[in-house]
Amino acid sequence: MKYKFSKYVFVAPLALAIGCGGSKQPVAQQPVVQTEKTGIDRKVDSVLALMTLEEKVGQMNQYNGFWEVTGPAPKDGAAAIKYDHLKKGWVGSMLNVRGVKDVKALQKIAVEETRLHIPVIFGFDVIHGYKTVSPIPLAESASWDMEAIQQSAEIAAAEAAASGLNWTFAPMVDVSRDARWGRVMEGAGEDPFLNSRIAEARVKGFQGDLGELSLAACVKHFAGYAFAESGRDYNTVDVSDNTLHNIILPPFKAASDAGALTFMNSFNELEGIPSTGNGYLQRELLKGEWGFKGFVVSDWGSMGEMIPHGYAKDLKDAAMKAANAGSDMDMESSGYIEHLAALVKEGKVSQEKVDDAVRRILRVKFMLGLFDNPYKYCDETREKETIGKKEFHDGVLDMAKKSIVLLKNEKNLLPLAKQGKKIALIGALANDKTSPLGSWRIGADDGTAVSVLEGMQQYKGNQLTYTKGADVALGKPVFVSETHINTTDKSGFAEAVKAAKAADVVVMVLGEHGLQTGEGRSRSDLGLPGVQQELLETIYKANPNIVLVLNNGRPLALPWAAENIPAIVEAWHLGTEAGNAVAQVLYGDYNPSGKLPMSFPRNVGQVPIYYNHKTTGRPGNGQPTESVFWSHYTDVANSPQYPFGYGLSYTTFSYGNLKISGNSFGKNGKITVTVDVTNTGKVEGKEIVQLYLHDLVASVTRPVRELKGFKNISLKPGETKTVSFIIDEELVTFYTANKKFEAEPGDFTVFVGGDSNATLNASFSYTE
Ligand code: BGC
């Protein structure tokens, strides 16, 4: 290979001789050991020493794909300027270029036509799969299965890397409490502990061994983005230090500790400072306190957005503030490429800051092996052989089944009998091969998901009829074709009613289209869009034996269905194998075990609603009281429709015999909690056993309870297993009034059970 790193290691004297700009660190003259970290740092320094200021700034510049690579090179306008920059070595990264052919063509320009031959890093939003699509991240989180989630990220990475990509803008680890925010579908829900474990699993899954089928991960959005006021995307964020450190930041820290190579900042402001210009977050906390060695990329155009935020007067000012705050790479604002060199010359941004950013970027490129072989990810044969492999389909099907949550199952309507029944399948989403792919699956092709209709057709013992009933009603700006747009058309109702009347059981697939959630898709109403609610109630009058299969990317508020419909299955947007997963669950070939990663509200007025809320000074002890002067609504209960951690199975479980190994422990000590879980039903099933702690009195008020452990177990009918958890100092540590993480002496209650309403409890103290 022509472009070996060694070329850079030994050329530093040449760099000084030819008068290249940049720092003049001494460069090692002896061979370097490739695998050692210090080795990489030496290589990075040797490259840095060769670079002009403009080339350094170029590494900090990221462009979106700007021309049809297989066509003629652009001659005018912005694309021609970007093309010129690429040839000069002024483009460190590109996004949204994919496919070996295109990536290779661009990489060739970077490494064969530029002065220093520095490879470009190619990024893409590989959020839940590339071509073979996994469930949306919120759905995967309902599995509480870290191995499965890691494997799902591995599959996504393998396909994307085989397609020439090196870097995914995932995982999103924003703790989300507000279902109105469309991006809750991209994360792991409302709990910081679960989010942290999932963040680790996803980082490990994407990055693997950093081999040719792995991607660098990018942890986003740093930080607080999910706390947009009123759930309206890009809106103002105003959170306390307490919430920032105890709720928002833990998953970011976990992902950084798990070795994530990059971070992305966020569109929102925090304490009045937009994240891109936020030196506390990026420079002091992430790179300082946490010791993060990778680089931070801005979010799309977020540097430029500091102008409308009212934090920068123009793009130059924004570039200065971003660079000084530690934002290393500029995604599509062109702020650095246009102004950073001048800012350094004017002394407004130090050379050290630029060098630090470039070092971080080069380091990641070295770690990915791009200097050893810039075409490492560009193998057309591997691309063909890897994408769409049978084992990937098996993997995403397994993930999809594990993501399904059974919300209600009265009269054992589920599982369905396999023989001799008349089943009416109703709903536009039941026959949709695109919507199940969900939002943020831009690498996949429309129409490639297995629909519920196709999944159910695999079971041939019943008589299955399908009628649409009504469209989903997308509302306008959702970037999809006109299908599903209609909001009022009820002309399909009559045929659906006829089918329902003739059926033993009705399966209705209702909810949100896959592109109704995601970025920019906030909703102020959490009900079923369009006339679907009316369709549901109309069909119910014709035949109440309804299994409601929900497709959605966020918690919905469906109080009427929760009260009246006998069986409800939360089937999210489950990806390529969605229909097969749903059918296998409906027919009992897979016993559902998913548990909600976000509370489902009774109505939108309860939002944000989350289990780990504070007690308040007027908790009312959870009981309705005579007085109105306690923290409650006068028109709806405080509790959610379905709580965090909740989910049923085709069997039942009982919990008992909670034991605690001691009443107290101190620094470096621990206690063990054990509980017996029994399968009290007739079929084998999986249960996710959850442990919560309540810190009774502290220097700052603490949540009513917090998830601090969970275990997945499988039990045969009648079988009992003893599950144990260790509680140590780390589990009782939090961000205190002293503005640091520490464990405070005090009393705690531990709860163990199958959801966040767990009642089985014991007490212990943490002592000094
Ligand atoms: C999103 C990011 C995404 C980026 C690149 C932005 O609009 O907020 O999450 O990674 O675009 O596509």
- Tens of pLDDT, residue by residue over 183-197, are 999 999 999 999 999
pTM (2 d.p.): 0.95
Q: Are 178 and 228 in contact (CB under 8 A)?
A: yes
Task: Tell me the CA distances in angstroms from 397 to 11, 21, 36, 401, one per residue in order.
Answer: 51, 53, 39, 6
Number of residues that this document lists for the chain: 768
Token pair of 625 as six digits: 């009281």
Q: What is the pLDDT of residue 627?
A: 82
| Beta partners for residue 692, in sequence order | 707, 751
d(CA 751, CA 640): 19
Residue 169, ligand 1, Cβ within 6 A? yes
Distance 518 CA to ligand 1 centre (A): 10
Q: Where in the chain is the domain with CATH 2.60.40.10?
A: 653-766
- Residues 6 or more apart from 627 whose CB is under 8 A from it? none
DSSP string, 705-718: -EEEEEEEEEE-TT
Looking at every residue in the chain, the average pLDDT score rounds to: 93
| Distance in Å from the first CA to the final CA of the chain | 60
* Atom in ligand 1 nearest the alpha carbon of residue 221: 9
Query: In the predicted model, is pLDDT for residue 670 greater than 90?
Result: yes
Distance 297 CA to ligand 1 centre (A): 11
| Beta partners for residue 408, in sequence order | 568
For residues 703-720, average pLDDT:
98
DSSP symbol at 246: I
pLDDT for 115-150, tens place per residue? Answer: 999 999 999 999 999 999 999 999 999 999 999 999
Determine the longest span between alpha carbons in the chain, in angstroms: 87
Tell me the backbone φ, ψ of residue 409, rounded to 5 degrees: -155, 75
Distance 300 CA to ligand 1 centre (A): 6
- Residues 6 or more apart from 745 whose CB is under 8 A from it? 765, 766, 767, 768
Residue 159, ligand 1, Cβ within 6 A? no
How would residue 488 be classed by pLDDT, with cut points 50, 70 and 90?
Answer: confident
Tell me the backbone φ, ψ of residue 27, rounded to 5 degrees: -115, 135
- Residues 6 or more apart from 701 whose CB is under 8 A from it? 614, 615
For the ranges 30-34, 207-211, 689-693, the lowest mean pLDDT is seen at 30-34
* Atom in ligand 1 nearest the alpha carbon of residue 96: 12
Q: Where in the chain is the domain with CATH 3.40.50.1700?
A: 402-606
- Percent residues over pLDDT 70 in the chain: 93
Distance 455 CA to ligand 1 centre (A): 33
Strands 670-679 and 93-95: unpaired
Strand order in the sheet with 670-679: 653-660, 670-679, 720-728
Task: Tell me the CA distances in angstroms from 392 to 398, 399, 575, 748, one per residue in order.
Answer: 10, 10, 12, 44
Distance 437 CA to ligand 1 centre (A): 18
Token pair of 258 as six digits: 């798990």
Query: In the predicted model, is pLDDT for residue 457 greater than 50?
Result: yes
d(CA 241, CA 131): 40
For the ranges 324-333, 345-354, 378-387, 629-638, the lowest mean pLDDT is seen at 629-638
CA-proximal residue: ligand 1, atom 4 (nearest): 300
CA-proximal residue: ligand 1, atom 7 (nearest): 300
d(CA 173, CA 192): 9
Query: In the predicted model, is pLDDT for residue 622 greater than 90?
Result: no
Token pair of 49 as six digits: 């020493």
From 169, 235, 305, the mutation candidate for ligand 1 (largest count of ligand atoms within 8 A of CB) is 169
d(CA 4, CA 764): 59
For residues 42-68, average pLDDT:
97
Reported as half-sphere exposure (CB side, CA atoms, 13 A), residue 173 has a value of 33
Query: In the predicted model, is pLDDT for residue 292 greater than 50?
Result: yes
For the ranges 83-92, 401-410, 628-637, the lowest mean pLDDT is seen at 628-637
Residue 45, ligand 1, Cβ within 6 A? no
Tell the CATH topology of 402-606. Answer: Rossmann fold (3.40.50)
From 125, 267, 332, the mutation candidate for ligand 1 (largest count of ligand atoms within 8 A of CB) is 125
For residues 156-161, average pLDDT:
98
From 233, 519, 522, the mutation candidate for ligand 1 (largest count of ligand atoms within 8 A of CB) is 519
Reported as half-sphere exposure (CB side, CA atoms, 13 A), residue 648 has a value of 18
Query: In the predicted model, is pLDDT for residue 480 greater than 90?
Result: no
Q: Which residue has the higher pLDDT, 515 or 330?
A: 330
Nearest one of 314, 301, 239, 230 to 269, comparing CA atoms: 239
Query: In the predicted model, is pLDDT for residue 91 greater than 50?
Result: yes
To the query of whether residue 432 is one of the catalytic residues in this protein, the response is no
Residue 234, ligand 1, Cβ within 6 A? no
For residues 660-675, average pLDDT:
97
Residue 299, ligand 1, Cβ within 6 A? yes
Query: In the predicted model, is pLDDT for residue 727 greater than 70?
Result: yes
Tell the CATH topology of 653-766. Answer: Immunoglobulin-like (2.60.40)
CA-proximal residue: ligand 1, atom 5 (nearest): 300
- Residues 6 or more apart from 45 whose CB is under 8 A from it? 23, 25, 27, 359
Strands 93-95 and 61-64: parallel
Q: What is the pLDDT of residue 767?
A: 97
Distance 68 CA to ligand 1 centre (A): 21
For residues 26-50, average pLDDT:
67
Q: What is the pLDDT of residue 483?
A: 54
